């Protein structure tokens, strides 16, 4: 090992060999890892909000689709009216 890494590695080995600091490290990792009760309660909250959010998104998408369909139908109707106005004018000539 390099001379810079060796002292840090020795210090780390000493820390792990001490039972009190080893337990502190394990508890810290267990808290941060999400394996405790906190992680489970957060995931339950997300699961409860999931179906509600899905329903809201579905309703918003349905409304947007309806608006697009209405706009397209209005455009089509205007084009038909314009064609009806143009046809009688050409027949008179």
**What is the pLDDT, as a whole number, of residue 59?**
92
**What is the pLDDT, as a whole number, of residue 62?**
94
Note the pLDDT tens digit of each residue in 48-87: 667 788 888 899 999 999 999 999 999 999 988 888 888 7
Q: What is the 3-state secondary structure (H, E, C) of the chain?
A: CCCCHHHHHHHHHHHHHCHHHHHHHHHHHHHHCCCCHHHHHHHHHHHHHHHHHHHHHHHHHHHHHHHHHHHHHHHHHHHHHHHHHHHHHHHHC
More confident residue, 11 or 74: 74
Residue 34 has pLDDT above 60, yes or no: no
**Among residues 23, 21, 2, which one has the least CA distance to residue 12?**
21
Query: How far is Cα 74 from Cα 81, in angstroms, rounded to an integer?
Result: 11
What's the chain's average pLDDT?
74
């Amino acid at each position: 090992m390099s001379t810079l890494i060796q002292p840090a590695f020795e210090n780390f080995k000493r820390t792990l060999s001490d039972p009190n600091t080893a337990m502190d490290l394990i508890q810290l990792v267990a808290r941060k890892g999400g394996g405790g009760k906190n992680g489970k309660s957060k995931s339950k909250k997300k699961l409860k909000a999931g179906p509600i959010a899905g329903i809201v998104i579905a309703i918003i998408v349905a409304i947007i689709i309806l608006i697009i369909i209405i706009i397209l139908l209005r455009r089509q109707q205007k084009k038909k009216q314009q064609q009806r106005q143009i046809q009688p004018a050409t027949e008179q000539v």
